[in-house]
Structure 1
Amino acid sequence: MQAVHVLLRGVLLSLSISLLVLAKDLQECEDLGQGSHLCREIESFEQLSRYVGENWLRVKVVNEHTGIEDEDQEKEFTSLSKLLHLDLSEADGFTLAERGVRDFKALQELNITHCQLEELQEQHFPNASKITNLDVSYNDIQLITGKVMNRLPDLEYGNFSNNLIAEIEPDAFRGLKKLRFLDFTTNEQENITLGENKNLRYLSISNNNVRDFQWCRMRGLPKLEELHLHSNWLENLDMGIFYALPKLRVFNVSNNNLYDIKRTLFMSPDERPPLELLDYSSNNVKVLDDSVFCRLGNLKTLNLWLNQINKIHPRAFLGLFSLQSLQLQGNKISSLPDELFANLTSLEQLDLSRNNIKKLGLRVFGGTILRQLTHLNLSNNYISDLHPLALSSLPFLKELRLGRNKLVSLDLRMFAPLRRLQLLTIGENRLEEIEPEILNTFERLTHLEINNNRLAFLPDLKASQNLQLLRYISLEGNPWQCLCLDEITAWLDSRRVSYARPSSAYFSGRKPLCVVTPMDKCQRKLEDVRAQGIVESYEKI
């Protein structure tokens, strides 16, 4: 009897231990709600199958101490067959054996990024897989074969970026009738051999080794809308892009070695091809020729920054009547022809910063009101000659950036039309005076930068009826008379306008904010300021 009792206690003890182990195992998977679960330290699909319940839909595996070893075995794990989403991106490695993910028969989304995979094989996927979203980025895959892709007839999104793919079998994606998105960014492709796919909309082969490119290789992609080829080694582009890609809306060839933009590139069977964004930035283009973009009547964004542009034909932008954003910053533009921007009636943003512009003439923007233009950036140039009426056709400007130029004075006629201006930067110029009439035009101004000029005073702000909406002003780096600065800061404090920047050398005491003068009040006559040598005294400190 005692032996039976001991045996019973042993059985109960074993059962208790088993229950504790099972409870511990179950704690490895956390229920996130709505069929989603987070499982930790999963070593195999067999182990995962023990946890997956009837209503599980999505699983993410997070391992810190082990990877997933998919063992070679014929046993089928039926509990995995209803999962819709599997994320192994944080599984710390994944070894695909013979069965691969064949047990995940209902799987629609598979993320196996960062899994140290070297290849994909057809036996890794179930026949007629239901996967629509496949992310295998950040692995070491070298080859994409048609046999593998034919196992994925429902694929819509494929991310193969950040691998070592040097070869794609011809027409590997031909049978994927639902495919819309392919990303091969950061691989080792030298030639584009994608082949045919009737429904592909997005393709990126950026940051590869593509040097030679001909549009005839893209004729099998008649519905392609976005093509990204940035960060390759392209030097020339063949003519007639839209004969091969008649639906193209976005074309990105930034950061290549392209030396020109030819009008023949945009030849099209249609009068107005659908292109809406053209990114030619970070190349070596030097000249914009006559009517080079004239066929691009639907273009909305044109990025030309960081080229070597030093000459622009007066009719270079002819035909761009839908253009909303023109980015020309970081070039070598020294002069702007008359009427250059006059026909850009839809333009909203124009960036000409970081060029060599010395003069802005009367008719650069033409005589027609550009009602849509709200943002103009002319900062970081060498502008010393700014015609008083140069901006007269831009009364709807909200942001005007003129900082870091060589302006000596401001003319009331320039600002009088700009009644909608909200942001103005004129810091780091050579201004000695801002007239009260100019300040009185700033009815809607909220942000004003006048730092690092040669200003020793401002008009009496207490007498100004404007600047009512001002919220920020930069002051430092000017040779302010201390009495004038006290008046300015008192007015700003009373209006709760921000001006002090604790990180600035001026407000931390490392550089002077003002000049002490013998006068008993703020001197607001420029002749007297010059006679006192206030600016020179400040510059010697």
Structure 2
Amino acid sequence: MKFSSLYCFLLLLIFQTDFGQNEETSRRQRRKMYYRRLRKSSLPTHRSVRQLGIQQMKTVTPAAKLPIINLDYSMEEKFESFLSVPGVESSYNVLPGKKGHCLANGMIMYNKAVWSPEPCTTCLCLNGKVLCDETKCHPQMCPQTIIPEGECCPVCSDTEQREPTNLPHKQQSRPWVEMNRALRKEELQFEEDEEEVKQDENRQQKKKTSRPGDWGRPTNEGQSREGREQRPGEEGRQAHQHRNPARENEEDDEDEEEDDEDEDEDEAVRGDTFRMPPQLPIPATPRGIPSLPSRCSLSYKTISCISADLTQIPPLTAPEITSLELIGNSITSIPDEAFNGLPNLERLDLSKNNITSSGIGPKAFKFLKNLMRLNMDGNNLVTIPSELPSTLEELKVNENKLQVIDEESLSDLNQLVTLELEGNNLSETNVNSLAFKPLKSLSYLRLGRNKFRIIPQGLPASIEELYLENNQIEEITEISFNHTRKINVIGLRYNKIEENRIAPLAWINQENLESIDLSYNKLYHVPSYLPKSLLHLVLIGNQIERIPGYVFGHMEPGLEYLYLSFNKLVDDGIDRVSFYGAYHSLRELFLDHNELKSIPPGVQEMKALHFLRLNNNKIRNILPEQICNAEEDDDSTLEHLHLENNYIKTREISSYAFSCIRSYSSIVLKPQNIK
């Protein structure tokens, strides 16, 4: 009987011990998972964004999965979704670039390009439309946070512990450095909690050895009962100093197994995620660089002296530097030896200074054999600098005082792709007809805000996009685009063009011309003889009263975007044949801010129409089948309809008038005028 009682007692003791161990193990696992989740939730996802030399680290919202662009501009992920896509509405500045390219702040962005115009905004070019999304920041789990310069999301502040580094001050403030610091603090806290758990285990083990019946359980070699019976306060220290190696290895093995199971998850949250990738090592401070001026900074091969009150180019010797920014200073001259210590410059920005043509040495740029981008905007140049390196791909001389471009001004620039000469004193009288001949690779040319009265002659055959807004152009002749067979976009906003001054053969036979902007000219009718390949036609702000019949009938594959806002269209100026040839293709039609009194005929027959603007007219009634065709409601593509600021009595609208529009929230009817 005694033996049976003793046996039951031992079974009960073993059961309690195992239950305690399981409870401790479960507690330790829960604690580890808690800190692992904590680390994940406190680290925002960063994606590298690079477009036209702009590098910024952005936090992309989880729902907006964007493509990652490598340094070779290859796409690693396909675009899946974007927050701004549902319900996106077109603006009035809608002329796209070639084959889906976008125009943003005077720069051409290629299709699916991602960039950050502001620290807290990420934009995407998608098929000619710019879609922007504001950054959403993940909450931080630390008591103090800071927002690094150039970023919008806070990171954990670590002012107490600063580790020595050879990196420049600008690099130390990068977000991934702050993230590493925060991560290390959390790892230390995690280790302390792990130690506490192990101490609890040791205490539990000691309790087991002091229980009755402990004589039947094995003990560690060399461990006496006196050693197990410790004084309060010494238990933790000795447990830490004399842990069982076998138990410690067993715990390490368990940790390694758990880490292996979660290896994929851990890779996304470890500290090395925020360090520079192997192909982009952070260099140490280049040897031989003299101390920079007080308001200059160094950041990964870039020296920035923006608004640093410089009156001359500082003497620098740094072969590793590839980018130099001297924006917004008071520099007046560039001597021949100015860049001798920077032989590997690829990008040079001298915009917003007081540099004069006479102050530039004849060999100032000659020895920059790797220079690809030169920005001289906002200076006092009267001529283009001489002997520019043949490696140049982008040259900007906007907002200067250029008075002449002769045959030699652009010689040897056969790799130049982008040339911007806006805001000068150029005209057909001081631009030589052979000036652009050497530019064999030129595809993007901006000549806006000058004094041209005709389309410049001698444009290179490679030209794809031409912008001549804010000039004094009055006519487009038959020879204007004779040699530009690749041209895709023509911008002629704010000129003096009339429809009868556009020659019938000026561009009708162009095979690649997809976009024309003739806004704010002197047009009274939609021009005839438009290019066959035209997809986008922008005619905002003219005096247009009529859309002639069959004016779009010859186009293939068909006009997709027609913008006629802010004109003088009346009911008699539009009939069913006005849109002939575009019924199957027209996607967006802007007829707002005109003098229409009714819905134009033919709208319900536009099979591909997504967006219709009729606001700010004089419309009074909407008949049941003027917008929607009841027999084809299921096939309708119409998503956005604007009818506000008319004279419509909304209570009198038929319930079938908008039956083809899937969401009534996309119909804008208020406010209406009262008369």
**2:589 counterpart SS class:** strand
**Superposition deviation, residue 214 in structure 1:** 1.6
Q: Please say if 1:283 is aligned against 2:542.
A: yes
Which segment drifts farther, 244-253 or 133-142? 244-253
What residue in structure 2 maps to residue 26 of structure 1?
292
What residue in structure 2 maps to residue 305 of structure 1?
565
> Residue deviations 1:14-53, cap 9 Å, x none?
xxxxxxxx998534474432211113444445xx3x3130
What residue in structure 2 maps to residue 88 of structure 1?
350
**Superposition deviation, residue 288 in structure 1:** 1.6
Q: 2:465 aligns with which of 196, 202, 206?
A: 202
Whole-angstrom CA distance in 1 between matches of 2:470 and 2:328: 31
**Superposition deviation, residue 404 in structure 1:** 2.7
Say if 1:400 and 1:366 are closer, same or farther in 2 by CA, change over 3 A: closer
What residue in structure 1 maps to residue 619 of structure 2?
357
Q: 1:331 aligns with which of 571, 583, 594?
A: 594
> Residue deviations 1:262-284, cap 9 Å, x none?
4x422x5xxxx332211011111
Whole-angstrom CA distance in 2 between matches of 1:106 and 1:68: 24
Is contact 1:81–1:103 with CA below 8 Å preserved after alignment?
yes
Whole-angstrom CA distance in 2 between matches of 1:196 and 1:210: 16
Which segment drifts farther, 109-118 or 95-104? 95-104
**2:529 counterpart SS class:** helix
What TM-score comes out, normalization by structure 2 length? 0.52
Is contact 1:134–1:155 with CA below 8 Å preserved after alignment?
yes
**1:68 counterpart SS class:** coil
Whole-angstrom CA distance in 1 between matches of 2:624 and 2:297: 68
What residue in structure 1 maps to residue 453 of structure 2?
190
Say if 1:23 and 1:32 are closer, same or farther in 2 by CA, change over 3 A: closer
Q: Please say if 1:38 is aligned against 2:304.
A: yes
TM alignment of 1:113-124, pairs within 5 A: 113-121=377-385, 124=386
Say if 1:77 and 1:112 are closer, same or farther in 2 by CA, change over 3 A: closer
Say if 1:196 and 1:93 are closer, same or farther in 2 by CA, change over 3 A: closer
Is contact 2:543–2:568 with CA below 8 Å preserved after alignment?
yes
The one-letter code of the counterpart of 1:399 is S
TM alignment of 1:170-319, pairs within 5 A: 170-236=433-499, 237-243=502-508, 245-262=510-527, 264-266=528-530, 273-296=532-555, 297-310=557-570, 311-319=573-581
**2:551 counterpart SS class:** coil
**Superposition deviation, residue 162 in structure 1:** 1.3
**1:302 counterpart SS class:** strand
**Superposition deviation, residue 120 in structure 1:** 1.7
Say if 1:54 and 1:242 are closer, same or farther in 2 by CA, change over 3 A: same
Q: Please say if 1:147 is aligned against 2:408.
A: yes
> Residue deviations 1:286-313, cap 9 Å, x none?
0123232223343221110001101311
CA radius of gyration, larger in: 2
Is contact 1:29–1:37 with CA below 8 Å preserved after alignment?
no
**1:148 counterpart SS class:** coil
Whole-angstrom CA distance in 2 between matches of 1:89 and 1:76: 16
**Superposition deviation, residue 220 in structure 1:** 1.3
What residue in structure 2 maps to residue 393 of structure 1?
660
Higher relative contact order (CA 8 A, sep 6+): 2
Which segment drifts farther, 27-36 or 198-207? 27-36
**Superposition deviation, residue 54 in structure 1:** 1.6
**Superposition deviation, residue 325 in structure 1:** 1.1
What residue in structure 2 maps to residue 107 of structure 1?
371
Whole-angstrom CA distance in 2 between matches of 1:345 and 1:398: 21
Q: 1:79 aligns with which of 318, 341, 348?
A: 341
**1:316 counterpart SS class:** helix
> Residue deviations 1:174-219, cap 9 Å, x none?
2312111000111111111232412111100110011122242111
**Superposition deviation, residue 396 in structure 1:** 5.2
Q: Give the share of equivalent positions with the same residue, in percent.
A: 22
Say if 1:99 and 1:158 are closer, same or farther in 2 by CA, change over 3 A: same
**2:408 counterpart SS class:** helix
Say if 1:53 and 1:190 are closer, same or farther in 2 by CA, change over 3 A: same
What residue in structure 2 maps to residue 161 of structure 1?
422
Is contact 2:510–2:533 with CA below 8 Å preserved after alignment?
no
**Superposition deviation, residue 379 in structure 1:** 0.5
**Superposition deviation, residue 133 in structure 1:** 0.5
Whole-angstrom CA distance in 1 between matches of 2:453 and 2:606: 38
Q: 1:343 aligns with which of 601, 605, 630?
A: 605
**1:200 counterpart SS class:** coil
Say if 1:299 and 1:187 are closer, same or farther in 2 by CA, change over 3 A: same
**2:474 counterpart SS class:** coil
> Residue deviations 1:201-256, cap 9 Å, x none?
11001100111222421111110100000100111222245445321111000000
Is contact 1:195–1:218 with CA below 8 Å preserved after alignment?
no
Which segment drifts farther, 382-391 or 357-366? 382-391
Whole-angstrom CA distance in 1 between matches of 2:328 and 2:659: 63
Whole-angstrom CA distance in 2 between matches of 1:205 and 1:196: 13
Q: Which residues of structure 2 form unaligned runs of 5+? A: 1-287
The one-letter code of the counterpart of 1:303 is Y
**Superposition deviation, residue 356 in structure 1:** 0.9
Is contact 2:394–2:419 with CA below 8 Å preserved after alignment?
yes
Whole-angstrom CA distance in 2 between matches of 1:116 and 1:164: 12
Whole-angstrom CA distance in 1 between matches of 2:666 and 2:589: 15
Say if 1:26 and 1:32 are closer, same or farther in 2 by CA, change over 3 A: closer
Is contact 1:219–1:245 with CA below 8 Å preserved after alignment?
no
**Superposition deviation, residue 382 in structure 1:** 1.1
Say if 1:76 and 1:291 are closer, same or farther in 2 by CA, change over 3 A: closer
Whole-angstrom CA distance in 1 between matches of 2:637 and 2:616: 23
Is contact 2:628–2:659 with CA below 8 Å preserved after alignment?
no
> Residue deviations 1:45-88, cap 9 Å, x none?
5xx3x313020100001454x323234x6x68532332111001
Is contact 1:222–1:244 with CA below 8 Å preserved after alignment?
no
The one-letter code of the counterpart of 2:424 is N
Is contact 1:63–1:92 with CA below 8 Å preserved after alignment?
no
Is contact 1:204–1:229 with CA below 8 Å preserved after alignment?
yes
Whole-angstrom CA distance in 1 between matches of 2:416 and 2:627: 49
**Superposition deviation, residue 366 in structure 1:** 5.0
Is contact 1:373–1:397 with CA below 8 Å preserved after alignment?
no
Say if 1:361 and 1:63 are closer, same or farther in 2 by CA, change over 3 A: closer
Larger helix fraction of residues:
2
Say if 1:298 and 1:314 are closer, same or farther in 2 by CA, change over 3 A: closer
**1:80 counterpart SS class:** coil
Say if 1:25 and 1:93 are closer, same or farther in 2 by CA, change over 3 A: farther
